[in-house]
């Protein structure tokens, strides 16, 4: 240790009070009982934090302290307790914070090393692998996602009803984003007329089950993603169990019976359904979040007469349109999984491709809804025959 460094340390000690790990341990106990209020900041590098940290600490590396602390602790009169590995960097950091106007800054003597030496508890954080840190680096750069958000996505499960026009782009982007488990239920095979918009499939897959084709594409894109395929139609025999198993459901179906079936099961399991639909040049998307916004039956208590329902196989659509709506659905799913932003609940976002316009309708819960209303019973409602399956 050089002379100049010793002098800097001596001066820092004159300005920044130091507490022992034992004293901070007691203060943390008081804080957890609501008898004390301060912010505990770990100023070490990420690689050190990953080895373990003091429970209740937040991580602001020394190199980012000046740029990030005001966002983390806006109130400069609030006490901040700093620690590093050995007590030197936190002391320096304490001086910096005082220069920035923080009035009550404390440094832990002996740092994390002494904390562990005292036998106090610490947390070993779960972290991304190096390969994952590279793959998701653009997520890690967004504070609203970050490493914890990415880990959350990797732990998440999304069920896609259909690997068609809406399910294809949704599944592809959810896989790229690192949603760890994707369930895909689809009983159909890939046909040449699908390829104008169902981009998860390709020409060599014609005749293959869509769910299997989607799995092949996703496996090639991201080995972090487990794809569960269900080569069946969603019906009363499987809907309950499937919905129960997933966190968010993306509805890419084009028929009314499935929507009612899914709606009721999602209400029972309390799972959000991200609903999308497209027709010619227009699309719409909304999130049915049980008991938060309206459900599908609040909006459509009865299915339309079969004569008014668009023919399932032959409704025309501009090929890019389901891409736009499907990606809005994927975006909503990720927001729900991360708990960020304002999901499209109680709103219907519509897109008119010809006009180049997005619009929004407000949607309201029906207090008398027979599914989600005060006296609603989602478990014993009428389901309908699938006109498209006939």
Catalytic residues: 312
Smallest separation, CB 363 to Zn ion (Å): 10
Q: Which stretch binds Zn ion (CB under 5 A): 108-116, 154-162, 187-195, 368-376?
A: 368-376
- Is residue 289 within the footprint of Zn ion (CB under 5 A)? no
- Is residue 369 within the footprint of Zn ion (CB under 5 A)? yes
Q: List CB contacts of 227: < 8 A, sequence separation 6 or more.
A: 175, 181, 182, 183, 184, 214, 215, 218, 219
- Is residue 267 within the footprint of Zn ion (CB under 5 A)? no
Q: Is beta strand 347-352 parallel, antiparallel or unpaired with respect to 105-108? A: unpaired
Q: Which is nearer to Zn ion, 77 or 382 (CB)?
A: 382
Contact yes or no for 194/163 (Cβ under 8 A): no
> Of the candidates 185, 295, 317, 325, which one interacts with Zn ion according to CB under 5 A?
295
> Of the candidates 59, 139, 297, 335, which one interacts with Zn ion according to CB under 5 A?
297
Q: Which is nearer to Zn ion, 41 or 273 (CB)?
A: 273
Residue nearest to Zn ion (CB): 369
SS (H, E, C) 348-390: EEEEECCCCEEEEEECCCCCCCCCCCCCCCHHHCCCCCCCCCC
> Of the candidates 298, 334, 337, 363, which one interacts with Zn ion according to CB under 5 A?
298
Instruction: Report how far Cα 303 is from the mean position of its chain's Cα atoms.
Output: 32
Q: Which stretch binds Zn ion (CB under 5 A): 111-119, 162-170, 344-352, 364-372?
A: 364-372
Contact yes or no for 171/163 (Cβ under 8 A): yes
> Of the candidates 27, 166, 175, 371, which one interacts with Zn ion according to CB under 5 A?
371
- Is residue 372 within the footprint of Zn ion (CB under 5 A)? yes
In degrees and rounded to multiples of 5, residue 82 shows phi and psi of -110, 145
| Residues that contact Zn ion, how many (by CB under 5 A) | 6
Q: Which is nearer to Zn ion, 122 or 291 (CB)?
A: 291
- Is residue 73 within the footprint of Zn ion (CB under 5 A)? no
- Is residue 262 within the footprint of Zn ion (CB under 5 A)? no
- Is residue 215 within the footprint of Zn ion (CB under 5 A)? no
CA distance 301 to 282: 23
Smallest separation, CB 29 to Zn ion (Å): 47
Smallest separation, CB 294 to Zn ion (Å): 6
> In the structure encoding, which two tokens stand for residue 278, read together?
């497209």
With CA atoms as reference, report the closest residue to 154 among 290, 20, 384, 337: 337
Smallest separation, CB 376 to Zn ion (Å): 6
Q: List CB contacts of 165: < 8 A, sequence separation 6 or more.
A: 194, 197, 198, 252, 278, 317, 322, 326
Q: Which stretch binds Zn ion (CB under 5 A): 87-95, 340-348, 367-375, 381-389?
A: 367-375
Ramachandran area for residue 165 (φ above 0: left; ψ -120 to 50: alpha; else beta):
alpha
Q: Which stretch binds Zn ion (CB under 5 A): 13-21, 254-262, 280-288, 293-301?
A: 293-301
- Is residue 275 within the footprint of Zn ion (CB under 5 A)? no
Contact yes or no for 49/42 (Cβ under 8 A): yes
- Is residue 266 within the footprint of Zn ion (CB under 5 A)? no
With CA atoms as reference, report the closest residue to 112 among 170, 59, 177: 59
Residues in touch with Zn ion (CB under 5 A): 295, 297-298, 369, 371-372
């Amino acid at each position: 240790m050089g002379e100049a460094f010793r002098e800097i340390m001596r001066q820092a000690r004159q300005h920044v009070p130091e507490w022992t790990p034992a004293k901070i341990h007691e203060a943390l106990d008081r804080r957890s009982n609501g008898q004390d209020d301060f912010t505990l900041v770990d100023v070490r590098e990420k690689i050190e934090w990953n080895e373990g940290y003091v429970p209740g600490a937040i991580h602001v590396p020394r190199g980012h302290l000046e740029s990030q602390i005001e966002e983390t602790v806006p109130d400069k009169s609030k006490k901040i307790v700093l620690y590093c590995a050995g007590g030197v960097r936190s002391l320096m950091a304490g001086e910096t914070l005082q220069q920035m106007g923080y009035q009550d800054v404390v440094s832990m003597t002996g740092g994390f090393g002494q904390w562990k030496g005292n036998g106090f508890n610490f947390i070993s954080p779960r972290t991304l692998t190096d390969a994952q840190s590279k793959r998701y680096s653009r997520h890690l750069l967004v504070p609203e996602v970050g490493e914890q958000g990415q880990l959350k996505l990797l732990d998440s499960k999304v069920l896609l009803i259909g690997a068609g026009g809406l399910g294809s782009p949704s599944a592809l982007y959810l896989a790229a984003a690192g949603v760890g488990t994707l369930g895909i239920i689809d009983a159909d095979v890939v046909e040449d007329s699908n390829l104008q918009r169902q981009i998860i499939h390709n020409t060599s897959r014609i005749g293959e089950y869509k769910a299997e084709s989607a799995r092949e594409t996703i496996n090639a894109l991201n080995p972090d993603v487990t794809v569960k395929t269900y080569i069946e139609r969603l019906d009363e025999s499987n809907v309950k169990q499937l919905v129960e198993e997933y966190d968010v459901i993306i509805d890419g179906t084009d028929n009314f019976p499935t929507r009612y079936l899914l709606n009721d099961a999602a209400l029972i399991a309390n799972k959000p359904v991200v609903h999308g639909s497209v027709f010619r040049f227009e699309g719409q998307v909304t999130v049915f979040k049980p008991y938060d916004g309206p459900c599908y039956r609040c909006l459509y208590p009865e299915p339309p007469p079969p004569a008014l329902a668009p023919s399932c196989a032959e409704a025309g659509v501009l090929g890019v349109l389901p891409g736009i709506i499907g990606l809005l659905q994927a975006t909503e799913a990720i927001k729900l999984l991360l708990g960020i932003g304002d999901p499209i609940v109680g709103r219907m976002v519509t897109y008119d491709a010809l006009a180049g316009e997005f619009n929004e309708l407000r949607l309201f819960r029906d207090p008398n809804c027979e599914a989600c209303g005060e006296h609603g019973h989602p478990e014993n409602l009428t389901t309908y025959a699938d006109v498209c399956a006939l």
